Chains A and B, each alone.
Chain A
Amino acid sequence: QQPVQSPQAVILREGEDAVINCSSSKALYSVHWYRQKHGEAPVFLMILLKGGEQKGHDKISASFNEKKQQSSLYLTASQLSYSGTYFCGTEMRGSNYKLTFGKGTLLTVNP
């Protein structure tokens, strides 16, 4: 039931774009995205609640394809501060408030 994230790791130069994918084998109700820097707590980025929904947050946006049970996180014109591990968390239909996280994608942005 754990969502699968891809890629596992990505290295960028400042200003480049990246896409992180999250897919589930179960029907989803919502998808959550978090960023965690080393030694710190996860920090909320956004929640996607509806099929086909897209959200944006500064230069970070995400989409949620309910039919395919997939979500993608888009990072454009990456900054050094974007470095960290990105986690998607999925809430499955009928899961009673349980969030299941993927294993994470390590993003490194170099100057």
Chain B
Amino acid sequence: NAGVTQTPKFQVLKTGQSMTLQCAQDMNHEYMSWYRQDPGMGLRLIHYSVGAGITDQGEVPNGYNVSRSTTEDFPLRLLSAAPSQTSVYFCASSSGRGLQETQYFGPGTRLLVL
């Protein structure tokens, strides 16, 4: 199993551009989530999904959209990039619908918005 994969690893955007961060898992996990990590802030939940077709907002959802059309994929869309969205983005997944199982994190995407 590849686990949780994320692409791209690095990305530079200009203000106003849009892009999609890809996340995929091959463990048949129902729960998937997106976090952003900024220095000194810990990890903050952006959006999460408890199964295909079901998504909900986390702590910092503004400026981001998600969809979950398959169990495997959970892309994160930046609608109009802003410098405040410069961060490291982690995707994670866990088995079951809740958080009572191990969350596996992907390697992260480092995003710089100029």
A residues contacting B by CB (< 8 A) are 2, 30, 32, 40-44, 47, 49, 87, 89, 91, 96-104
A91 nearest in chain B by CB position: B99
B residues contacting A by CB (< 8 A) are 31, 33, 35, 40-45, 48, 50, 56, 58-59, 90, 97-108
B97 nearest in chain A by CB position: A97
The distance in angstroms between the C-alpha atoms of A30 and B42, with both chains bound, is 18
Knowing A41-B108, A42-B43, A87-B42 touch, does A97 contact B48 (C-beta < 8 A)? yes
Interface contact B48-A41, CB-CB below 8 Å: no
Inter-chain CB contacts under 8 Å: number? 54
Q: B residues within 8 A CB of A32?
A: 99, 103
Shortest CB distance B69–A (Å): 19
Partner of A100 from the list B40, B59, B104 (CB cut-off 8 Å) is B59
The distance in angstroms between the C-alpha atoms of A16 and B102, with both chains bound, is 28
Interface contact B102-A30, CB-CB below 8 Å: no
Interface contact A2-B99, CB-CB below 8 Å: no
Shortest CB distance A19–B (Å): 19
Q: A residues within 8 A CB of B41?
A: 103
The distance in angstroms between the C-alpha atoms of A106 and B101, with both chains bound, is 25
Interface contact B107-A97, CB-CB below 8 Å: no
Partner of A97 from the list B31, B40, B44, B59 (CB cut-off 8 Å) is B31
Q: Could you pull out 11 A-B pairs where Cβ atoms are within 8 angstroms?
A: A32-B103, A41-B90, A42-B90, A87-B42, A87-B43, A97-B97, A97-B98, A98-B58, A98-B59, A100-B45, A100-B59
Since A41-B90, A101-B43 are in contact, a sample of 5 more A-B pairs with Cβ atoms closer than 8 Å, ordered by chain A residue number, is A30-B99, A49-B100, A98-B45, A99-B103, A101-B35
Most chain B Cβ neighbours within 10 Å, of A97, A100, A101: A97
Q: A residues within 8 A CB of B101?
A: 47
Interface contact A99-B107, CB-CB below 8 Å: no
Interface contact A2-B100, CB-CB below 8 Å: no
The distance in angstroms between the C-alpha atoms of A98 and B59, with both chains bound, is 8
